[in-house]
C-alpha cells in the first residue's frame, strides 16, 4: 500500500477531521491496496475506483463536480439516495389519503425515482451543497462519503469571492468542524491537482482540513508499469535496457505518460532505447511544466567541460554519496558565484548527467494576478518533488526576488514566496533528492538566509580559467561541436588567450566557433592554427572589466575555503593590482601592461 493511502486511512480512522484534501498526481493510474497478481491493469486504478473501493462498506458514496453534477458509486446507492432523501410521503398520520393526495404522492414518487437529480437537488453548487449538508448530517441513513471533484472550481480567489463563493466556503469550513458529520460518520473528500489553488486558510496549520498528497509513481511502480506494457510483446527493447533501468530513467513521469510512450513506439514500430526515452521524457516534462520550469535531460557529462578539476572531484564525491545512500554527506543546496561566461549553469547540467538526475532551471514565478504567484510557486515546488532526484538551478538568483528590506508594495507576496522556498529548501527529507543550486554574478546581493548552512552548505567560486585550463577548454569545445581541427601549435594559441586576462570559457567557445567560420569561408574542412589565431585576435577585452574583477573578488571571498583554487590568494592580489584606472580605460584589445607603458610614455 502506498504511503499516501496509508496516511489517508489512518486519518480517517482517527476521526480528527471530517474533510480531506487529496491533491497532486490524482488523475493518474494509482497503485492501491489491490492484489499485486491482478492482471487487468497491473493492480492500477483511477482515483474514483480507489475511493469507491476504500469506502465500499459505507451506505452512500457520492461524487460531485460542476460539469458532471451529482453522481454515485453505483446504481444501488443512487436508488437508496432517491428513496431516502427525495421521496417524502405527504401524510404521516396514518389516515387514508384522498384520491387527489394519492395522485400527488404517486407523482412525487415517480419524480423522485426518475427525474434528473439536478431538478430535485439543484443545479448550482450552493443548492447542491446545501441539500447535501442535510444528507451528510443525517444519522439515521448510515455512513456517507462525498467526493468533490475539481474542488478548485467551486471557489473563486478570495479577492474575487462572491456571496455564493463565500457561502460554499462556509459550508465546507463548517463540515471540517462539524460534530453532526462526525456523529453521522460522514466524510467529505476534496480532489485538486494543486493545493495552492484552494483558499489560503485551508492550508494553514490551524485548518481542520487534512491534506494528503499523491506523488508521482516511484521507480518500482514505474518499472512494474513498463513490465506490464511489455507483456503485450508489441515493442522491441534495446539490449542495454531492462524494465528496472526504465523505471529509474523515467523519473518524473506518470503511469499514463509511460503508457503513452509505449503506445507511440508500438504504433510507429520503433525500438525503445535510451535516446528515444530521453527525447520523449524531455518533451513530456516540458509540456507539463514548461510554463515555469525548463526541464532538460542532459546530453553531456564532465568530459565535455574543460577545466575545474577540483570542483569536478568535489561533485563526483557528492554523486557517489548519493548513489551509496549516504545522504547525510550530500549538501542540501549550493551557491555558485562568479562572472558571467564561466560555465556555471552548464557545469551543473553536466553534474546532473553524471548523477543520472533530472535537470531543471526555475523561472520567475511572479504573476500580475492576485494570489497567482503563490499558487505558481506551490506548483513548482510540488513538481520538483515529483521530479526527484533532481538538480535544480535558479539562475540569476539575486534578481529573482526583491530584498526583504526593500519597499515593494506587493502586499507581502515577495515575503510569502521567500518563505515557501525557505521551508522547501530546509526540509531534511529532501537531502540527496533535491539539490538546489543558486547561481549569481553577485552573491553579496542574495538574502543572507539563503546562504545559511542547512539551505546552502557550500559556496562554489566560478572565476576565470587558470592558465593551464585553456588548452583543455579549446579541445573540449572542438569535441562538443564536432569540429575537425588540425592544430600544429596549440601552445601559441593558448598563450595568446592567457594574455587576454578577462577571457572566460564562453569566450573560448566563441573563438572556436569563429575559427570554424574562417575555415568555412576558405572552403576547408578543418580548423588550422591560422584560423584560431585570427579568431583570438578578433576578441576584445570587455568594457566592464572593473565589474568582472569585483565579481571575482566577491566570489572568492564568499566561497567555501576548501573549494577555492589553490592560488586564490594570488588571484586576489592580481585583482587588486589591476585597480589602476589606466588598465580599465585601456583600448579594449591592448594588453594592460602595454597600455600602461603607452600612458607613461
Q: What is the pLDDT of residue 376?
A: 82
DSSP, res 56:
T
The Cβ-side half-sphere exposure at 356, using a 13 Å CA radius, reads 12
Predicted pLDDT of residue 598? 46
pLDDT for residue 112: 59
Integer Cα distance of 276 and 286 in angstroms:
16
Residue showing cell 404517486:
106
Q: Are 211 and 23 within 8 A, CB to CB?
A: yes
Strand pairing partners for 393? 361, 437
Ranges of residues in the chain with a pLDDT under 70 are: 33-42, 88-113, 156-161, 290-291, 366-371, 400-411, 579-601
Distance CA 63, CA 150 (A): 11
Rounded to 5°, the CA angle 568-445-196 comes to: 125
CB 364 within 8 A of CB 226: no
Which pLDDT score is estimated for 594? 56
First to last CA, the chain: 83
pLDDT digits (tens, 9 = 90+) for 55-78: 999 999 999 999 999 999 999 999
- Whether 173 contacts 128, CB under 8 Å: no
Tell me the sheet residues that pair with 436: 333, 392
d(CA 343, CA 337) in angstroms, rounded, equals: 11
H helix and E strand count, the chain = 24, 16
3-state secondary structure at position 30: strand
DSSP notation for 115-141: S-HHHHH-SSHHHHHHHHHHHHH-STT
Q: What is the pLDDT of residue 537?
A: 94
Q: Which of 505, 571, 565 is nearest to 314 (CA)?
A: 565
Q: Which domains does the chain have, with CATH numbers?
A: 3-214 (3.40.50), 219-289 (1.10.8.60), 302-461 (3.40.50.300), 466-601 (1.10.8.60)
Q: Residues near 300 by Cβ (< 8 Å), separated by ≥ 6?
A: 349, 350, 353, 480
C-alpha cell at 465: 580559467
DSSP 83: I
Closest CA to 151 of 222, 221, 67, 33: 67
Distance CA(475)–CA(489), nearest Å, equals: 13
For residues 513, 514, 520, 525, the Cα torsion angle rounded to the nearest 10 degrees is: -50
- Give dist(CA 578, CA 464) in Å, integer: 15
- Distance of alpha carbon 365 from alpha carbon 380, whole angstroms: 8
Rounded to 10°, the helix 47-54/3-14 angle is 40
> Looking at residue 383, what is its pLDDT?
86
- Name the helix (H) or strand (E) containing 480: helix 470-480
> 42, exposed or middle or buried, with CB in 10 Å at 0-12, 13-18, 19+?
buried
Concatenating the DSSP letter of every residue in 229-289 gives HHTT--S-B-TT--HHHHHHHTTT--HHHHHHHHHHHHHHT--B-HHHHHHHHHHHHHHHH
CB-count burial class (<10 Å; 0-12, 13-18, 19+) for 99: exposed
Q: In terms of Cα–Cα distance, which of 480, 501, 477 is closest to 490?
A: 477
Q: C-alpha grid cell for residue 472?
A: 583543455
Kindly compute the dihedral angle of the four CA atoms of residues 468, 469, 473, 476, in this order, to the nearest 10 degrees.
90
Among 530, 500, 499, which residue's Cα sits nearest to residue 516? 530
Distance of CA 160 to the CA centre of its chain: 28
Amino acid at each position: 500500500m502506498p504511503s499516501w493511502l496509508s496516511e489517508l486511512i489512518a486519518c480517517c480512522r482517527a476521526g480528527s477531521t471530517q474533510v480531506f484534501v487529496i491533491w497532486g498526481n490524482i488523475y493518474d493510474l494509482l497503485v492501491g491496496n489491490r492484489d499485486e497478481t491482478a492482471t487487468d491493469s497491473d493492480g492500477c486504478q483511477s482515483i474514483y475506483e480507489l475511493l469507491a473501493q476504500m469506502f465500499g462498506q459505507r451506505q452512500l458514496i457520492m461524487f460531485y463536480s460542476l460539469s458532471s453534477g451529482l453522481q454515485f458509486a453505483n446504481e444501488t446507492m443512487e436508488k437508496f439516495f432517491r428513496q431516502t432523501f427525495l421521496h417524502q410521503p405527504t401524510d404521516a398520520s396514518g389516515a387514508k389519503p384522498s384520491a387527489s393526495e394519492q395522485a400527488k404522492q404517486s407523482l412525487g414518487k415517480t419524480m423522485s425515482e426518475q427525474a434528473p437529480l439536478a431538478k430535485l437537488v439543484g443545479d448550482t453548487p450552493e443548492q447542491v451543497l446545501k441539500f447535501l449538508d442535510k444528507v451528510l448530517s443525517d444519522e439515521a441513513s448510515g455512513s456517507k462519503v462525498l467526493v468533490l471533484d475539481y474542488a478548485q472550481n467551486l471557489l473563486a480567489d478570495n479577492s474575487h469571492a462572491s456571496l455564493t463563493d463565500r457561502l460554499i466556503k462556509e459550508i465546507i469550513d463548517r463540515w471540517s468542524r462539524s460534530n453532526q458529520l462526525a456523529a453521522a460518520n460522514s466524510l467529505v473528500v476534496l480532489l485538486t491537482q494543486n493545493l495552492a489553488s484552494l483558499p489560503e486558510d485551508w492550508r494553514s496549520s490551524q485548518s481542520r482540513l487534512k491534506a494528503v498528497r499523491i506523488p508521482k509513481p516511484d521507480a518500482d511502480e514505474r518499472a512494474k508499469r513498463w513490465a506490464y506494457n511489455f507483456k503485450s510483446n508489441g515493442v522491441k527493447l534495446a539490449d542495454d535496457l531492462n524494465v528496472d533501468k526504465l523505471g529509474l530513467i523515467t523519473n518524473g513521469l506518470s503511469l499514463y505518460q509511460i503508457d503513452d510512450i509505449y503506445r507511440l513506439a508500438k504504433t510507429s514500430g520503433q525500438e525503445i532505447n535510451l535516446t528515444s526515452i530521453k527525447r520523449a521524457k524531455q518533451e513530456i516534462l516540458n509540456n507539463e511544466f514548461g510554463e515555469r520550469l525548463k526541464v532538460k535531460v542532459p546530453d553531456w557529462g564532465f568530459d565535455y567541460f574543460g577545466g575545474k578539476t577540483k570542483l569536478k572531484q568535489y561533485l563526483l564525491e557528492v554523486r557517489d554519496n548519493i548513489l551509496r545512500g549516504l545522504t547525510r554527506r550530500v549538501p542540501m543546496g549550493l551557491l555558485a558565484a562568479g562572472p558571467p561566461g564561466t560555465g556555471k549553469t552548464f557545469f551543473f547540467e553536466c553534474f546532473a548527467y553524471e548523477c543520472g538526475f533530472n535537470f531543471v532551471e526555475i523561472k520567475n514565478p511572479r504573476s500580475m494576478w492576485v494570489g497567482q504567484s503563490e499558487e505558481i510557486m506551490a506548483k513548482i515546488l510540488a513538481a520538483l518533488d515529483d521530479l526527484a532526484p533532481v538538480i535544480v538551478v535558479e539562475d540569476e538568483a539575486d534578481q529573482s526576488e526583491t530584498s526583504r528590506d526593500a519597499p515593494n508594495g506587493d502586499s507581502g507576496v515577495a515575503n510569502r514566496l521567500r518563505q515557501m522556498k525557505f521551508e522547501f529548501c530546509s526540509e531534511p527529507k529532501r537531502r540527496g533528492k533535491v539539490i538546489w543550486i543558486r547561481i549569481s554574478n553577485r552573491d553579496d546581493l542574495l538574502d543572507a538566509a539563503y546562504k545559511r548552512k542547512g539551505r546552502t552548505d557550500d559556496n562554489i567560486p566560478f572565476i576565470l580559467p587558470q592558465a593551464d585550463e585553456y588548452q583543455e577548454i579549446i579541445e573540449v569545445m572542438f569535441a562538443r561541436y564536432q569540429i575537425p581541427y588540425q592544430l600544429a601549435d596549440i601552445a601559441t594559441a593558448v598563450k595568446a588567450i592567457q594574455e587576454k586576462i578577462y577571457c572566460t570559457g564562453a569566450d573560448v567557445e566563441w573563438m572556436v566557433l569563429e575559427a570554424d567560420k574562417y575555415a568555412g569561408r576558405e572552403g576547408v574542412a578543418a580548423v588550422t592554427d591560422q584560423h584560431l589565431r585570427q579568431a583570438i585576435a578578433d576578441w576584445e577585452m570587455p568594457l566592464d572589466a572593473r565589474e568582472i574583477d569585483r565579481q571575482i573578488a566577491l566570489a572568492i571571498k564568499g566561497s567555501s575555503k576548501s573549494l577555492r583554487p589553490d592560488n586564490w590568494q594570488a588571484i586576489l592580489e592580481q585583482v587588486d593590482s589591476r585597480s589602476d584606472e589606466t588598465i580599465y580605460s585601456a583600448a579594449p584589445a591592448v594588453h594592460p601592461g602595454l597600455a600602461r607603458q603607452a600612458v607613461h610614455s
